[in-house]
Structure 1
């Protein structure tokens, strides 16, 4: 029986239009409320961006944002990771030696980008970071709690860059990708599954009672973690290998399709969400 549903957003819950079928989800959400099933948004994106997708219920649901670095449930912060400032500056100094790497530094109160970055990168970043400040230099920032770097590199260089960063900062940071040349540098152990565990402890929910949906490399831990896990048809080979099941693509509203099936499915006269 499922008591908690966790969904990635880009490439999973959201269609290519950067939106979802709101009326269809609203009906599903009402059924979840009736069955006391928790709904969790688990994404690498910024909390302030994620909550904007759910204006009516943002204070009633939970968010595992920034790939697990920030957990907010029903409007209350439960967890916030933190990188040492010395590590932040060490990573930034190394990134400056690399070509074709664009960087956003992510903090609790805002994300930050250097005024030296290309305008197209900054404007694209605003889609995922509703709080994004352009500053003279990332190296001089100290007045925030920093927990993630969001990088963009040429798509063909993604795997090589991840290997380089994981080797250079082994034990200090972990590089994960959500595809399209996007790489997140996160605090070791602060992935989406860790965020789900924090929420499970709050509610007394076992992994076997969790359903998760994802499509990329930053979803792997969450997909392995949940008793019911679904990789999207459009997902990466790694996501499909990590998940126990497959869902239709995000373009076909796969998350909503599966949730409707689970809500209506009968097992010994009892719903999966019973």
Structure 2
């Protein structure tokens, strides 16, 4: 069975814990991928601008499924934008602002927005994931297209908050864990697998021809949709249990190890 698309999550998967990857090794692999007709996609909860910065050499050739699937850019073409209505956006913001211990990033197409009043440590954390970050006095009245909300909160209330938000905002957002102690509130149905489906239609690629890698709750759909879904060794047990295949640790270039197997047509790709 041939592989025609490799799609990777970034944090905790393709990137190591200091947000780096072995660029020379991957670019050599990518050259071989092109020779074999294999496409490459980045599928992440992160902002498009940040994802682009990791692949400047090949950004016009690959696909970006950004903001958990709400924004899809393929070969430089802006293909798809999900969007909250103004009413939905305001409903979510009004509810979130009533919750203590939660810091919010409102994720727009132009910027990620955070409040000026937030603690400097959170602003530094947010800047690691959002290359375009703007501080605002209020979340209301911002002129942008909004894709999702990213929430920062203590680990010990994460599970109960996920459930409560799912109930309070049912039909407007779906809460998913994003792999680094935080929650993303996404537009229902606009997950990474949906974004990859858009890319696959453009490139004429079937699900059974796709290899995906992930480590978090926001990767579940693409891990189960793909013919070859690989959960990382560092992923939570429930994510590993859902995936058909297992990869090694994100700090040990495990994704690149599997890509070598794809290119060399080793098991399970032979």
TM range (shorter): over 0.9
1:195 aligns with 2:157: no
Structure 1 range deviating more: 237-246 or 103-112:
237-246
CA distance in 2, matches of 1:54, 1:180: 22
Q: After superposition, where does 1:138-217 map in structure 2 within 5 Å?
A: 138-141=139-142, 143-217=143-217
Corresponding residue number in structure 1 for 2:46: 45
Give the drift of 1:154: 0.2
1:160 deviates by 0.6
Please report the RMSD computed on the Cα atoms of aligned residues, expressed in angstroms. Answer: 1.3
Displaced runs of 4 or more, over 3 A: none
Deviation at 1:266, TM superposition (A): 5.0
Query: In the aligned structure 1, how far is the partner of 2:117 from the partner of 2:237?
Result: 36
Match of 2:10 in 1: 9
In 2: Cα distance, 1:233 partner to 1:154 partner: 24
Give the TM-score normalised by structure 1. 0.96
Structure 2 residue 23 is matched with structure 1 residue 22: yes
The corresponding residue for 2:119 is 118
Q: Look up the match of 1:61.
A: 62
Given that 2:179 and 2:215 are in contact with CA atoms closer than 8 Å, whether structure 1 keeps it comes out as no
Specify every segment of 5 or more residues in structure 1 that has no aligned partner in the other structure, as ranges. Answer: none
Q: Are the aligned partners of 2:4 and 2:209 in contact in 1 as well (CA < 8 Å)?
A: yes
Q: State the Cα distance separating 1:59 from its structure 2 match.
A: 1.3
> Hey, what's the Cα distance between the residues in 1 that align with 2:223 and 2:214?
7
84-93 vs 45-54, which deviates more? 84-93
Listed one character per residue, the Cα deviations across residues 83-114 of structure 1 (whole Å, up to 9, x for unaligned) are 01111111111111111000000111111111
In 1: Cα distance, 2:265 partner to 2:61 partner: 26
Paired residue total: 269
Instruction: Structure 2: give runs of 5+ residues left out of the alignment.
Output: none
- Structure 1 counterpart of 2:96: 95
8 Å Cα contact 2:261/2:269 also seen in 1: no
Deviation at 1:23, TM superposition (A): 1.0
DSSP 3-state at the match of 2:20: coil
